[in-house]
Amino acid sequence: MIQSLPKVTINAAFLKEIKDDNLNLYSLLENLRSFWLVNDPLVLNPEWFSALVNQLRDQLAIHFALEETFGYFDHPVIFDVFLSEEAKRLKDQHVELYLEINLIAEKSEEMLYPDFNETSYTTLVNQFKKFYQSFQQHEVAEFDLIMRVSHEEHKRTKKNILMHELIPRER
Ligand SMILES: [Fe+2]
């Protein structure tokens, strides 16, 4: 059976820049982290949790759209099979992560109305903790990919310079 290889790669410089510039996203994540560190509705208001999770959902939609538009690209002329497989896996993960945060955001509104449900709140904060960890793993894997692709590009550029030096120049 012939299997088509994934032909996806990243623009390492753009992907890194998108991450470096998204301070809103990282500050939202940091604020939300305090809700499981202090999982007590009397200390941290569950309405803030709901508002922040909804903001995070919207912020992630923009973040993933930017990454997919400028950070990833299909059908590259030159690609490494293993790096390409990893790029496809990480790009596909955006949908899973978005669906997960969307579900948490929806449930966070349901838990508040008509009456606040503390059990649902505790469950939801734990669900958010798992989401946070999955998102961090995704970010670490993308940073790793950025480093590996940059390294490959650097090697290729160096090789091209060496090849260029071997070609005799006209005098
Ligand atoms: Fe990503």
Residue 21 belongs to domain with CATH number: 1.20.120
**Assigned domain for 90 exists:** yes
Give CA separation, 26 vs 3, 6, 17, 83, 139, in Å: 39, 30, 14, 26, 11
**Assigned domain for 1 exists:** no
pLDDT in tens, 43-71: 789 999 999 999 999 999 999 999 999 99
From ligand 1's centre to the CA of 98, what distance in Å? Answer: 11
From ligand 1's centre to the CA of 141, what distance in Å? Answer: 9
Query: What pLDDT score does 80 carry?
Result: 81
From ligand 1's centre to the CA of 15, what distance in Å? Answer: 8
Domain interval for residue 46: 8-166
**Assigned domain for 32 exists:** yes
From ligand 1's centre to the CA of 6, what distance in Å? Answer: 17
From ligand 1's centre to the CA of 150, what distance in Å? Answer: 17
**Assigned domain for 109 exists:** yes
Q: Output the average pLDDT for the chain.
A: 88
Query: What pLDDT score does 133 carry?
Result: 96
**Assigned domain for 13 exists:** yes
pLDDT at residue 108 greater than cutoff 90 = yes
From ligand 1's centre to the CA of 156, what distance in Å? Answer: 25
Number of domains in the chain: 1
From ligand 1's centre to the CA of 60, what distance in Å? Answer: 9
**Assigned domain for 2 exists:** no
- Residues 145-170, mean pLDDT to the nearest whole number: 76
Query: What pLDDT score does 90 carry?
Result: 96
**Assigned domain for 171 exists:** no
Query: What pLDDT score does 114 carry?
Result: 86
**Assigned domain for 3 exists:** no
Full DSSP string of the chain: ---PPP-EEE-HHHHHHHHHH-HHHHHHHHHHHHHHHT--TTTS-HHHHHHHHHHHHHHHHHHHHHIIIIIEEES-SS--HHHHHHHHHHHHHHHHHHHHHHHHHHHHHHTTSSS--HHHHHHHHHHHHHHHHHHHHHHHHHHHHHHHHHHHHHHHHHHHHHHHHHSPPP-
HSE of 64, CA atoms in CB hemisphere, 13 A: 19
pLDDT at residue 73 greater than cutoff 70 = yes
From ligand 1's centre to the CA of 111, what distance in Å? Answer: 29
pLDDT at residue 131 greater than cutoff 70 = yes
